[in-house]
Chain A
Amino acid sequence: MTMAAFLARRLIGNRSSQILGTSCSSSGAFISVARAFSSSTTPIKATLFPGDGIGPEIAESVKQVFTAADVAIEWDEHYVSTEVDPRTNSFLTWESLQSVLDNKVGLKGPMATPIGKGHRSLNLTLRKELNLYANVRPCYSLPGYKTRYDDVDLITIRENTEGEYSGLEHQVVKGVVESIKIITRKASMRVAEYAFLYAKTHGRKKVSAIHKANIMQKTDGLFLQCCDEVAKKYPEIYYEKVVIDNCCMMLVKNPALFDVLVMPNLYGDIISDLCAGLVGGLGLTPSCNIGEDGIALAEAVHGSAPDIAGKNLANPTALLLSGVMMLRHLKLNKQAEQIHSAIINTIAEGKYRTADLGGTSTTTDFTKAICDHL
């Protein structure tokens, strides 16, 4: 990190926050320094994609809570259009993408990809255009919401651009299909660097690389090689390699064994959903996508739930916690902590809970309860 950024961090106070750290590139660091020094009179611009289905309701929730907590963010809202934009070949307009590239932070609600051919899926568009290479998902047991697992506290970091999801498939002859999995040194190094940097900045003690290199020797072997190289630069962090089937088994038996997990695309998809299941499901899980040049797009990973859309029944927790991740990325740690505690306390209290958590409150009641707890 550059000297200026280092000094700036010392000045701001390097409170070991739970969720996000800075990116590696120096331009990113400078931008976060600039932001940190912005006073409440110059709000930070952040892009907001409310999304479909329950998206607009929970986005409204987030806006209310952030206003109640005096967070100086100016939302730049963008919606998915109803026509394919030829410049992006998807339903996301060029302006939306530019907005995220300019603001460098964003919050995204659930988006339902319309079925059809000839255009890219929305998530794929965002990922490719913004070069979002790492998906960070912290999974921790929410005190007060009891699941079968009480001591979960781990972060899954998943490579987001290549691997099995390259989309390169073809039919060789009738009845025989090939799908190509690609692993490159560049992408693996990038995500490994981010994982170790994240572990260091958040005071995490262990990084586990998940792989199946006993079978896929060259591909996962290359991924492991990259992780090995990066691990050497961080001798104070304990590094281990775990085969994925063993990892699945250990996760369901004793999730406390893991701390930070870094893995290629497919395994990351499965493991991060498994971990979300351990703590209560996708309705409570925040996540954040990291891109080059310090871009961070926090998103709620659950679906758009069209069946409860507009009925004021949706649970805004996932989007709120993702918003908290976004605040920590912007170094607004005090307010992030405030909102985080408010959410945890509201859920722990148990008086206001939405239907998916077993309660009867509406979205607006839940939001109001959180605002009261601030």
Chain B
Amino acid sequence: MSCRSLNLLKNLARNANGSGIQTRSVTYMPRPGDGAPRAVTLIPGDGIGPLVTNAVEQVMEAMHAPIFFEKYDVHGEMSRMPPEVMESIRKNKVCLKGGLKTPVGGGVSSLNVQLRKELDLFASLVNCFNLPGLPTRHENVDIVVIRENTEGEYAGLEHEVVPGVVESLKVITKFCSERIAKYAFEYAYLNNRKKVTAVHKANIMKLADGLFLESCREVAKKYPSITYNEIIVDNCCMQLVAKPEQFDVMVTPNLYGNLVANTAAGIAGGTGVMPGGNVGADHAVFEQGASAGNVGKDKIVLENKANPVALLLSSAMMLRHLQFPSFADRLETAVKKVIAEGKCRTKDLGGTSTTQQVVDAVIAKLD
């Protein structure tokens, strides 16, 4: 028996392996010096934030990934982001963050929103997909929701006209709508996605959402190979629940994006597993895809049962963004294997493991 046939058999066995390690057929050739460790700002945040960011730190350590974290302590009750944190993010250009708790109804504006506005992170991206081995009511879900992150209903312009009557302004500008539409189509083009859907309520808010749609239509003309269609937000939610496989990339203004992203995350497995990030022209902040109603329940924090999968997958997105593709692949494969196996799952996925157990399982599966 020659070595050749033995190698052939090995290759066959490897390719037949269902969970698919992505072997690159042509290698990724870096520039000299690309392997130098990159600094990444890390903001653990509140609630489950410290637990899940710690999970990421452990896994990065285990992989010997070429990044090191500059940790900063920020809490939701602070009125502003501390200037040294902003300095650090501007210098490093990339940040990984847990959730920051926003007090409900109180006079402090959300730090999450402040961060996005100051760094002009105008696009928020959430990738909702079915994980193999995690049964949900819906199959074949693979939706990317791209949401305008700076204006719309979150402009924060409210005032009391007379006692008992309050007004809130929703601002839509051509500039912001155009750039988010451009980002969405560019994303679809670079990731070989076939369809972009714009979500709106222009039958009621004719001027505001009408302007958003106009911008989308103009940009769509420049990408003739990508199908473009529009859908009203209430119909969109209904279709998401009934036939999610019809959606591919969705581009939305601020508020609808929040709802659609959370609905899509819910049908594909929950906020505990969906990765996401916010990106602007100069900076990128990665965090859990869909907000878990602020920062998750206190009980989960006490019992250490937060699900680290979402942030782990977001950090894989971050590694790709930093052009470390093989580390990203290894991390993603390990996480997917752990989920597919089903032995180690936190409470939101129907299991009983703690955060640390999931992390250990992922580290064990790293190759």
Contact = CB atoms under 8 A, between A and B. Distances in A.
Contacts of B107: 217
A266 B205 CA distance: 11
Interface in A196-240: 212-222, 224
B238 A273 contact: yes
Interface stretch (B165-173, B316-324, B356-364): B165-173
Interface SS of chain B: helix, strand, loop or mixed? mixed
Interface string B96-132: 0000001111110110010000000000000000000
Contacts of A244: 258-259
Contacts of B74: none
A216 B206 CA distance: 22
Contacts of B103: 214
B233 interface: yes
A277 B207 contact: no
Interface stretch (A4-12, A58-66, A178-186): A178-186
Given A176-B171, A248-B263, A219 B166 contact: yes
Contacts of B293: 242-243, 245-246, 249
A311 interface: no
A179 B242 contact: no
Contact of A177 (B160, B208, B234): B208
12 contacts: A169-B205, A179-B169, A181-B170, A182-B166, A184-B165, A218-B159, A219-B166, A244-B259, A249-B293, A274-B237, A277-B239, A282-B238
A181 B211 contact: no
Contacts of A56: none
Contacts of B154: 215
Given A169-B207, A178-B172, 8 more contacts: A176-B171, A180-B170, A249-B262, A250-B266, A270-B233, A271-B237, A273-B238, A277-B237
Interface string A246-284: 101111110000000000001001111110111001100
Given A177-B207, A273-B234, A278-B241, A219 B158 contact: yes
A292 interface: no
A30 interface: no
A164 interface: yes
Interface size class of A (residues with CB under 8 A): 35 or more
A273 B241 CA distance: 10
Nearest to B208: A179
Contact of A243 (B160, B211, B294): B294
Nearest to A241: B104
A170 interface: yes
A174 B175 CA distance: 11
Contacts of A145: none
B140 interface: no
A215 B208 contact: no
A243 B259 CA distance: 10
Contacts of B271: 249
A13 interface: no
B241 A277 contact: yes
Contacts of A219: 158, 166-168
Interface string A157-170: 00000001101011
B266 A270 contact: no
B247 to A, nearest CB: 13
B167 A186 contact: no
Interface in B157-195: 158-160, 163-175
A149 interface: yes
Interface in B259-311: 259, 261-263, 265-267, 270-271, 290-294
Select the residue from A171, A185, A212, A252 with max chain B CB neighbours within 10 A.
Answer: A252
Nearest to B108: A217
Contacts of A277: 237-242
B266 A253 contact: yes
- Nearest 8 pairs of A and B residues by beta carbon: A246-B293, A277-B238, A175-B174, A185-B164, A252-B266, A273-B234, A277-B241, A249-B266
B39 interface: no
A213 B105 contact: yes
A176 B174 contact: yes
Contact of A171 (B158, B166, B207, B237): B207
B166 A148 contact: no
Given A149-B137, A183-B166, A215-B110, A177 B263 contact: no
B259 A177 contact: no
Nearest to A173: B173
B230 interface: no
Select the residue from A220, A271, A273 with max chain B CB neighbours within 10 A.
Answer: A273
